[in-house]
Structure formats: structure tokens, C-alpha cells
């Protein structure tokens, strides 16, 4: 795909140009590159088998990316919740009235919890 001189080996220049196209190329250039990557027989036409392979790769990787995005989002939300909890607890601990209210609230919660347990 990046072997522009047809030598069967990639030179440093061919690799550099290829990666540059992938990272900085115009959408049209990237689409052409993707087409070349899946045109296994090099006839500049995509067979049904080549198209099936292309779509399979997109769907599988798309699903993996979605899972990764969801996992990352969950981690970020968890971190935010923990940070918020820590900040709230710091505020409570630094204020005597809030500390007293918090302790009384916890005592009531514990009593209610014990009262409703079988």
C-alpha cells in the first residue's frame, strides 16, 4: 500500500509519507488509502468479499471503540464522584457545625438501618 516504487520493501521515505497521509491527510486521501488497503487484488474495484471484510473491520473496531469510550466515561464519572465526595468531606470536617450535623445524621441512619433489619 505504501510501496510506491513497487520494490516489495518499504523505504523510510515511503513509511514516513504513508504515516503522514494517515495522520494529516485530507479525508479524500484517507478514503483512497482505505480503499487501497481493502482492494486485496489491486484491481481498483471492491468485490463483495473485500467489502464484507471492510465492513466487518469497521463494525468490530467501532464496537471496540464504543466499549472503550463507555469504559473511559465510567472511569471519569467515578473519578469525579470520588473527587466531589472528598471535597464535600473536607468541607464537613473543616466546619464544626457541619461535622456535628454529619455525625448526628450518620447516627440516625445507623439506628434506622438497625431497626429495619430482620
pLDDT computed for residue 118 by the predictor: 66
The residue range of the domain holding 6 is: 1-38
52, 109: one domain: yes
Query: Is pTM, for the whole model, over 0.75?
Result: no
Together in a domain, 98 and 49: yes
Verify that 76 and 25 share a domain, yes or no.
no
Question: Same domain, yes or no, for 31 and 65?
Answer: no
pLDDT of residue 90: 86
Q: Specify whether 8 is located in the same domain as 59.
A: no
Q: For Cα atoms 46, 52, 56, give the angle at the middle one, nearest 5 degrees.
A: 130
DSSP-derived 3-state class of residue 60: helix
Q: At what angle do helices 96-116 and 48-94 cross, to 10 degrees?
A: 110
Overall domain count for the chain:
2
**Going residue by residue through the chain (118 aa), what tens digit of pLDDT does each one get?**
677 788 888 788 877 877 777 778 788 887 787 788 778 888 888 888 888 888 888 777 777 777 777 788 888 888 888 888 888 888 888 888 888 888 888 888 888 877 787 6
The reply to whether 95 and 49 lie within a common domain is yes
- Predicted confidence at residue 16, as pLDDT, reads 80
What is the distance between the alpha carbons of residues 103 and 87, in angstroms, rounded to a whole number? 17
Residues 31 and 73 in one domain: no
Amino acid at each position: 500500500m505504501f510501496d510506491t516504487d513497487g520494490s516489495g520493501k518499504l523505504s523510510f521515505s515511503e513509511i514516513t509519507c504513508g504515516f503522514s497521509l494517515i495522520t494529516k491527510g485530507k479525508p479524500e486521501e484517507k478514503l483512497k488509502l482505505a480503499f487501497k488497503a481493502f482492494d486485496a487484488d489491486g484491481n481498483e474495484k471492491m468485490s463483495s468479499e473485500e467489502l464484507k471484510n471492510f465492513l466487518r473491520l469497521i463494525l468490530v473496531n467501532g464496537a471496540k471503540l464504543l466499549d472503550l469510550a463507555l469504559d473511559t466515561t465510567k472511569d471519569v464519572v467515578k473519578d469525579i464522584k470520588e473527587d466531589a465526595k472528598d471535597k464535600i468531606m473536607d468541607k464537613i470536617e473543616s466546619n464544626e457545625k457541619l461535622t456535628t450535623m454529619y455525625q448526628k445524621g450518620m447516627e440516625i441512619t445507623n439506628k434506622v438501618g438497625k431497626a429495619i433489619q430482620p
